[in-house]
Amino acid sequence: MPLSDEDFRAARRQWLRAASLLPMGLVAPAVQAAAGPDGQAPVDLQLHALQTEAGPWRLAFGSCARQSKPQPIWSAIAAAQPHLFAFLGDNFYGDATTADELRARHAEFAAVEALQAFRRQHAHVAIWDDHDYGVDDAGGEYPHKALSQQLFCDSWGEAADSPRRSRSGVFQAYRIQAQGRTVQLILPDLRFNRTPLLSDPGRRTGYERMMAAAQRGNQDPIPGWYVPNPDPAATLLGEAQWQWLDAQLAQPADLRILCSSVQLAAEGTGWECWANFSADRERLLQTLRRQRAENLVVISGDMHYGELSRLDAPGLYPIWDLTSSGLTEVWAVPTPNSRRQQGVVAEVNFGLIEIDWAARALTLSVRDGAGRPRISQRVALDSLRLTSGPDSAPNASQRTL
């Protein structure tokens, strides 16, 4: 007989505690997490090493880790000595059409020793994407999303009273304060409330032919079949999450990192991205202007390759979007992206942001399975400032590789 939801969670928590997978809050002995007094307030992360260490702060991130495959990349990530790791979704592949399948996939995720050993030793935060939320490309229509929300919170060690268990999605914001600096991490939920995607039937029909051509060596970029939704009511976030995001962007910060499970800056890929919901992306840009929210960069996953994109919009600083995917998954078929600056890294990879406060600069990199930089971009913090006029944009950065 299948376990009830309550019995499954109780049994699973007992097993995880026995395996030492659920230390305090965010699953890392070096982290203490304190939630704010309400669901709008960020969670404060006390990363003890940052209180005393000199040198750059290091945030690593990655996505797309299939639980049935070996995951040796965690050794390379650990060798980079990140102060924090951000899991950006597809942290396992559920693709579950029933509640029992969803529970089983979470149990498989808990048994991936290389990943779970990394979690026990390193501070981390997490958001989901489609495959660990439910099924491929799923949005608000997924029928088991309420159960998925609770299982996500169980698997990532959220407290019983965590707002992530009760609000319309698992979105969360974190704040790191050390040495007089504040870094804000914003993790939107791009699944729970998302409007269904629109697709071009013609692209779907010709896709097998294009894939066959790619396998024969054709290097022409092949877009996917998704197209922008012109409905102004179509949304990635939903209104309640928009109100929350507006409040986060009003917070002061020396650096903001938007941890997006899908690409924000990319254009023309034909796959899942913010460009399919142009009204929402424009609303985000308008919110950055209105709140005068400076110093924001984006990290993203989903694509099964790494790359660097840049979005330039009137009256804003350049929005850099560093994509790292996947930890096990690789997509070698050329994909268009008119905003690509560097890439494509079509091999297993992880991302790294190094924050050099003394030099007032970031280094954004995508690294291969051995930890070697394959993409590297230096970005001056002073270039991530709002411009004085609506039609000017600073020239931000210096390429280092």
Domain CATH code at residue 24: 3.60.21.70
Task: Report residue 327 as tokens.
Answer: 């930890």
Would the pTM of this model clear 0.85, i.e. be above it? yes
| pLDDT exceeds 80 at position 185 | yes
For the segment 58-82, what is each residue's pLDDT rounded down to a tens digit? 999 999 999 999 999 999 999 999 9
Its domain, for residue 87, covers 5-399
Helix, strand, coil shares of the chain, percent, nearest 5, are 30, 25, 50
CB of 343 closer than 8 Å to CB of 263: no
* Radius of gyration of the CA atoms of the chain, in A: 20
User: What φ, ψ does residue 385 adopt, rounded to 5°?
Assistant: -115, 150
Cβ atoms within 10 Å of 236's Cβ, excluding its own: 29
User: CA 86 → CA 90, 126, 214, 257, 311, distances in Å?
Assistant: 12, 6, 33, 11, 22
| Percentage, residues of the chain above pLDDT 70 | 87
CB of 290 closer than 8 Å to CB of 243: no
Average pLDDT of 146-171? Answer: 97
From 55, 53, 48, select the one nearest 356 (Cα to Cα): 55
Residues 6+ apart with CB under 8 A from 165: 149, 150, 153, 158
| pLDDT exceeds 80 at position 387 | no
Amino acid identity for residue 120 in this structure: R
Number of folded domains in the chain? 1
| pLDDT exceeds 50 at position 9 | no
| pLDDT exceeds 50 at position 24 | no
CB of 325 closer than 8 Å to CB of 64: yes
Helix (H, G, I), strand (E, B) or coil at 377: strand
Cβ atoms within 10 Å of 195's Cβ, excluding its own: 18
> What's the confidence (pLDDT) of residue 33?
47
| pLDDT exceeds 90 at position 50 | yes
Cβ atoms within 10 Å of 280's Cβ, excluding its own: 21
Residues 6+ apart with CB under 8 A from 256: 183, 184, 186, 249, 293, 295, 296, 297
Map 310-367 to HEC letters: EECCCCCCCEEEEECCCCCCCCCCCCCCCCEEEEEECCCEEEEEEEECCCCEEEEEEE
For the segment 336-363, what is each residue's pLDDT rounded down to a tens digit? 999 999 989 999 999 999 999 999 999 9
For the segment 224-251, what is each residue's pLDDT rounded down to a tens digit? 999 999 999 999 999 999 999 999 999 9
Q: Which residue has the tokens 């005393």?
A: 52
How far apart (Å, rounded) are the C-alpha atoms in residues 257 and 321? 10
292: left (phi over 0), alpha (psi -120 to 50) or beta: left
| pLDDT exceeds 80 at position 390 | no
What does DSSP say about strands 296-300 and 306-311: parallel, antiparallel, or unpaired? unpaired
What does DSSP say about strands 255-260 and 296-300: parallel, antiparallel, or unpaired? parallel
